A and B are shown apart, each in its own frame.
Chain A
Amino acid sequence: MTGKVLPVAKGIVALALVGVVLYATFHAVQAQQTQTPPERFIAPVDVDTAGLPGPVQPIFYRHDVHAGQYEMDCLYCHYAAEVSSSPGLPSLDACMGCHLLVGGGNPEVAKLREAVNEGRPVEWVEVHKLPPFVHFPHMRHVLSDAEIECQDCHGEIERMPQVYQFASLKMGWCLECHETEEATTDCTACHY
């Protein structure tokens, strides 16, 4: 008789096991979905500058690391954007403010320190160019009622390992916004 019972029992056990496994995995999956913390942006580790859009800079300064990963405020470096027509470039000793301590191992940071020690200015390649006959007051836009974000014109800078020109910066492009926002379209607002 037992000879007949065993296979059945085996069958039940097997089923049970399968059920348990399935249940467990199912729960495990659920657990994973619920428990992982909100994803934080991690700048990709090494990116080859040549392959990236935009001009190659003397020092491979990475906006995606500074503004993206470490979420530094744009105005920390571009300190003049709210008060001046020019956003301002961070002086090298502003960079050294942090890099005296951090990033020592990084070869690019080494370049920076070298430049500072030699008292030689770094010649960044300009990315966002306007013709000389256009006068663009940054402060008016940064502080305008239209609540313009830096990204609106410069693109997702905090995700750019190497900065490239995002918007066309052509007059038509300016005018579109000026018309939708009902800002002035008077020529001498920008040309003089």
Chain B
Amino acid sequence: MATTAPPEGLPVSRPTYADVTRDIVATLGNPGRIYYGLLAFVITILLIGFGALLYQIKVGLGVAGYTPPVMWGVYITTFVFWVGIAHSGTLISAILFLFRSAWRTAVYRTAEAMTVFAVMTAGLFPLIHVGRLWYAYWLIPYPNQRMLWVNFKSPLVWDLFAIGTYFTVSTCFLIVGLIPDVAAVRDKATGWRKKLYTITSLNWRGTDQQWRHYTRAYLYLAALATPLVLSVHSVVSWDFAMGIVPGWHATIFAPYFVAGAIYSGVAMVVTLLVPLRRVFKLERYITTDHFENLSKLLLLTGMIVAYAYATEYFIAWYSGNTFEQASFWNRAFGDYWWATWTMIICNGFLPFFLWFKKIRRCIPALFVLSLFVNLGMWFERFVIIVVSLSFEYEPYAMGHYTPSWVEWAIMAGSFAWFFMWFLLFAKNFPTVSIAEVKEIIPMPRKKA
């Protein structure tokens, strides 16, 4: 590869291998006061959320704002939100890897870390939301004296397997990717960090044999992760699509959710990269080109999402199913019109700005946009879940749900949980892949 012309995504001011190692190792320097301040802040929020959870477990789910028939609320909404976030990571590291798009190298580590932490966050919510979380382990098919098994027809069991697999695979992926970098850091580090990295690098030395197996393994992991990415959110979407609820029971859900997931995931990557790049002074490696590429992804998925919205309404009308029609009418003009319109504006209209190269290359604009997309995607799930449930078949049994402080606290806690992990990661492991960045930099040759 090194012999070919400099590929896209190549750092502008041709850094040498040595520069790469130096610059990226530099990000692992001892953290400053701001870092610890941030960490303290998120941990406080996390503790508040945890307190709220304990309160809910003690007193009962009644402390949440559930109003039948809305039996799923903020928790499941946030669950789907985080699962969605988790998607861009593996997309960038696996799918783009298979597509050999070189620009991924600078950003994929961040995305992948984000993926793992997002799944870790998402995984908490099904537990938080069930009525008797002390029995949640009954969803696992383990041999028990009751001779009972689980219902493999239930989408929730599918979820268990999908999320579990996704978490395992993306974690493997992250760790495998880290090994050579940790080795590189090891050889620069001193003191306790030296010990840490010596252990975590698993005695990696970059021999021809190691590279031989490593590259292959990485390729197949990517090959496996690719269908997985697409499957996970499809399965999550089937939690709804398998339901009989008007506004849920639609075949479009799987692609619709996957697109939305990648959309929100990429947005979150942008949200994280912009400050990261600034703080760690990585402008040399994460360039405006990278952001433009990301925003192209945003644009693509955003257009798919917008199309999906349109389709939903069209089908509701075209199907002639009065329940569907009523449900969608209620979305747009019912009690929850504000949620629906937030979602449509943030996800359906704002991405159109990305048609303009100016905006694609304007990092502050992208940052703001990404925040809106995150917001919009949360509301998309809120609308799909809460609004559909509040307006089902039985007019007599319709209701209106407003979340309680407990739900907000736990949701805030989930964000804190996510950022805590990310902060810890960013300071202790290379957030840009050393080896892969080097891979796309041509090595010096004696014959120029």
CB proximity to B under 8 Å, residues A153-181: 170-173, 175
The answer to whether the Cβ of B145 comes within 8 Å of any Cβ in the partner chain is: yes
The answer to whether the Cβ of B147 comes within 8 Å of any Cβ in the partner chain is: yes
Report Cα–Cα, A72/B366, bound state, in Å: 89
Chain B residues whose CB sits within 8 angstroms of the CB of A175 once the complex forms: 146-147
Min CB–CB distance A127 → chain B (angstroms): 21
Chain B residues whose CB sits within 8 angstroms of the CB of A172 once the complex forms: 144-147
Report Cα–Cα, A126/B74, bound state, in Å: 45
Report Cα–Cα, A173/B147, bound state, in Å: 10
Chain B residues whose CB sits within 8 angstroms of the CB of A173 once the complex forms: 145
Cβ-closest chain B residue relative to A170: B145
Report Cα–Cα, A80/B252, bound state, in Å: 61
Min CB–CB distance B149 → chain A (angstroms): 13
Cβ-closest chain B residue relative to A175: B147
Report Cα–Cα, A170/B144, bound state, in Å: 11
Chain B residues whose CB sits within 8 angstroms of the CB of A171 once the complex forms: 145-147
Report Cα–Cα, A160/B144, bound state, in Å: 31
CB proximity to B under 8 Å, residues A124-147: none
Report Cα–Cα, A172/B144, bound state, in Å: 8
Min CB–CB distance B83 → chain A (angstroms): 32
Report Cα–Cα, A173/B144, bound state, in Å: 12
Report Cα–Cα, A172/B146, bound state, in Å: 4
CB proximity to A under 8 Å, residues B145-174: 145-147
Min CB–CB distance B138 → chain A (angstroms): 13
Chain B residues whose CB sits within 8 angstroms of the CB of A170 once the complex forms: 145-146
Chain A residues whose CB sits within 8 angstroms of the CB of B146 once the complex forms: 170-172, 175
Total residues of chain B contacting the partner, CB 8 A: 4
Report Cα–Cα, A27/B144, bound state, in Å: 61
Chain A residues whose CB sits within 8 angstroms of the CB of B144 once the complex forms: 172
Report Cα–Cα, A82/B327, bound state, in Å: 57
Report Cα–Cα, A109/B145, bound state, in Å: 42
Report Cα–Cα, A175/B146, bound state, in Å: 8
Min CB–CB distance A95 → chain B (angstroms): 38
Report Cα–Cα, A170/B147, bound state, in Å: 11
Chain A residues whose CB sits within 8 angstroms of the CB of B145 once the complex forms: 170-173
Chain A residues whose CB sits within 8 angstroms of the CB of B147 once the complex forms: 171-172, 175
Min CB–CB distance B297 → chain A (angstroms): 49
Cβ-closest chain A residue relative to B144: A172
Report Cα–Cα, A156/B146, bound state, in Å: 25
Min CB–CB distance A132 → chain B (angstroms): 16
Q: Mark A94-134, 1 if CB is under 8 A from B, else 0.
A: 00000000000000000000000000000000000000000
Report Cα–Cα, A127/B229, bound state, in Å: 55
Report Cα–Cα, A175/B148, bound state, in Å: 10
Min CB–CB distance A177 → chain B (angstroms): 12
Min CB–CB distance B147 → chain A (angstroms): 5
Cβ-closest chain B residue relative to A168: B145
Report Cα–Cα, A185/B3, bound state, in Å: 71
Min CB–CB distance A170 → chain B (angstroms): 5
Report Cα–Cα, A46/B146, bound state, in Å: 41
Report Cα–Cα, A143/B146, bound state, in Å: 25
Min CB–CB distance A60 → chain B (angstroms): 34
Report Cα–Cα, A173/B145, bound state, in Å: 8
CB proximity to A under 8 Å, residues B186-230: none
Cβ-closest chain B residue relative to A173: B145
CB proximity to A under 8 Å, residues B81-95: none
Report Cα–Cα, A118/B206, bound state, in Å: 90
CB proximity to B under 8 Å, residues A23-65: none
Report Cα–Cα, A172/B147, bound state, in Å: 6
Cβ-closest chain B residue relative to A172: B145
Cβ-closest chain A residue relative to B146: A171
Report Cα–Cα, A69/B77, bound state, in Å: 68
Min CB–CB distance A133 → chain B (angstroms): 13
Report Cα–Cα, A187/B147, bound state, in Å: 12
Report Cα–Cα, A173/B146, bound state, in Å: 8
Min CB–CB distance A62 → chain B (angstroms): 33
Min CB–CB distance B202 → chain A (angstroms): 44
Report Cα–Cα, A14/B162, bound state, in Å: 97
Report Cα–Cα, A175/B145, bound state, in Å: 9
Min CB–CB distance A13 → chain B (angstroms): 76
Report Cα–Cα, A124/B147, bound state, in Å: 33
Report Cα–Cα, A175/B147, bound state, in Å: 8
Report Cα–Cα, A149/B378, bound state, in Å: 62
Min CB–CB distance A136 → chain B (angstroms): 16
Report Cα–Cα, A171/B144, bound state, in Å: 10
Report Cα–Cα, A132/B51, bound state, in Å: 32
Report Cα–Cα, A93/B145, bound state, in Å: 42
Report Cα–Cα, A171/B138, bound state, in Å: 15
Report Cα–Cα, A172/B148, bound state, in Å: 9
Min CB–CB distance B160 → chain A (angstroms): 22
Cβ-closest chain B residue relative to A185: B147
CB proximity to A under 8 Å, residues B126-154: 144-147
Min CB–CB distance B286 → chain A (angstroms): 58
Cβ-closest chain A residue relative to B148: A171
Min CB–CB distance B277 → chain A (angstroms): 58
Report Cα–Cα, A171/B148, bound state, in Å: 10
Min CB–CB distance A172 → chain B (angstroms): 3
Apart from the given pairs A171-B146, A173-B145, A175-B147, 5 other A-B contacts in the complex at a CB distance below 8 Å: A171-B147, A172-B144, A172-B146, A172-B147, A175-B146
12 CB contacts below 8 A, A to B, read: A170-B145, A170-B146, A171-B145, A171-B146, A171-B147, A172-B144, A172-B145, A172-B146, A172-B147, A173-B145, A175-B146, A175-B147
State the 5 A-B residue pairs at the shortest beta-carbon distance, nearest first: A172-B145, A171-B146, A175-B147, A170-B145, A172-B147
